[in-house]
């Protein structure tokens, strides 16, 4: 982390129409190059907060400051164009960014190599596994060349082994590129495995109910003792929030 601020959220509130508050008085500062996991029970407003950071929606109250180049977003579904190859899907993002035609192929292959998928560049999505499709989606998000990458439960639909492999890939890409990553998940272990900081949102209205900072994330794995210990601590706080909301 550089010590500079990438995202600043102050007194953020969000409601849809005349409905109840979804988010209330959310305050959060994320440093440049930081990997932050947003965690909470289903319906707590995690994805809503991510959409607000992405500029896909506007807050009802408060403010969000993000880098001038905005943020790239990666969703749970890879949403690749089925008639395009992996390379062409990445090239599409480069074209939309204004990269000249002569430079796109090489740039796309380099990005696919970044996610260890260069050998599958000419395959179409139906020829790829779920994990490989998500790697293409990650390469496409990186192709947007934004300093902030927002990820909305991108590995939720994958099996445990594939998810573990992609955790390693994502950590490697993060360290290599220096991106600021905000990663939404409902999986406590995933958050404890990936994040330099884990932010827990309360059930509706969503508020910051707890934060955990991890001094060193080097060499962490899903089965690491420190991940297990942190998961237990976070889960206990999460249970308290769920019980409070149910009372």
Whether residue 221 has pLDDT greater than 70: yes
Measured distance CA(23)–CA(49) in Å, rounded: 8
Specify the pLDDT at position 246: 66
Q: Is 187 helix (H, G, I), strand (E, B) or coil?
A: coil
Measured distance CA(63)–CA(42) in Å, rounded: 24
Query: pLDDT tens digits for 111-139?
Result: 999 999 999 999 999 999 999 999 999 99
Q: Which residue stretches of the chain are H helix?
A: 46-54, 86-97, 101-114, 130-143, 160-177, 188-194, 225-246
Q: What is the mean pLDDT of residues 41-70?
A: 92
Whether residue 2 has pLDDT greater than 60: no
Architecture of domain 1-66+184-247: 3-Layer(aba) Sandwich (3.40)
Query: Helix 130-143 to helix 160-177 angle, to the nearest 10 degrees?
Result: 20
**Confidence tier at 223 by pLDDT (50, 70, 90):** confident
This prediction has a pTM of 0.92
Determine the straight-line distance between the first and last CA of the chain, rounded to whole angstroms.
40
Specify the pLDDT at position 184: 95
Residue for token digits 């390469």?
A: 139
Measured distance CA(75)–CA(137) in Å, rounded: 9
């Amino acid at each position: 982390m550089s010590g500079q601020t990438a995202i600043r959220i102050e007194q953020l509130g969000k409601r849809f129409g005349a409905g109840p508050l979804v988010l209330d008085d959310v305050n959060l500062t994320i440093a440049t190059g930081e990997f932050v996991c947003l965690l909470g029970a289903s319906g707590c407003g995690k994805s809503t907060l991510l959409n607000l950071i992405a500029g896909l929606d506007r807050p009802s109250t408060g403010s969000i400051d993000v880098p001038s180049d905005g943020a790239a977003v990666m969703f749970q579904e890879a949403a690749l164009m089925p008639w395009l190859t992996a390379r062409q899907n990445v090239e599409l993002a480069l074209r939309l960014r204004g990269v000249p035609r002569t430079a796109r192929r090489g740039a796309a292959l380099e990005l696919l190599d970044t996610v260890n998928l260069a050998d599958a560049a000419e395959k179409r999505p139906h020829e790829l596994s779920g994990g490989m499709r998500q790697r293409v989606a990650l390469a496409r998000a990186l192709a947007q060349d934004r300093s902030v990458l927002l990820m909305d439960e991108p590995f939720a639909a994958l099996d445990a082994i594939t998810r573990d492999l992609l955790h390693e890939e994502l950590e490697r890409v993060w360290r290599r590129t220096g991106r600021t990553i905000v990663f939404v998940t409902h999986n406590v272990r995933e958050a404890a495995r990936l994040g330099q900081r884990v932010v827990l949102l309360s059930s509706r209205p969503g508020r910051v109910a707890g934060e955990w900072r991890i001094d060193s994330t080097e060499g962490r794995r899903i089965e690491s003792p420190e991940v297990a210990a942190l998961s237990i601590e976070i889960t206990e706080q999460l249970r308290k929030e769920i019980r409070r909301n149910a009372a």
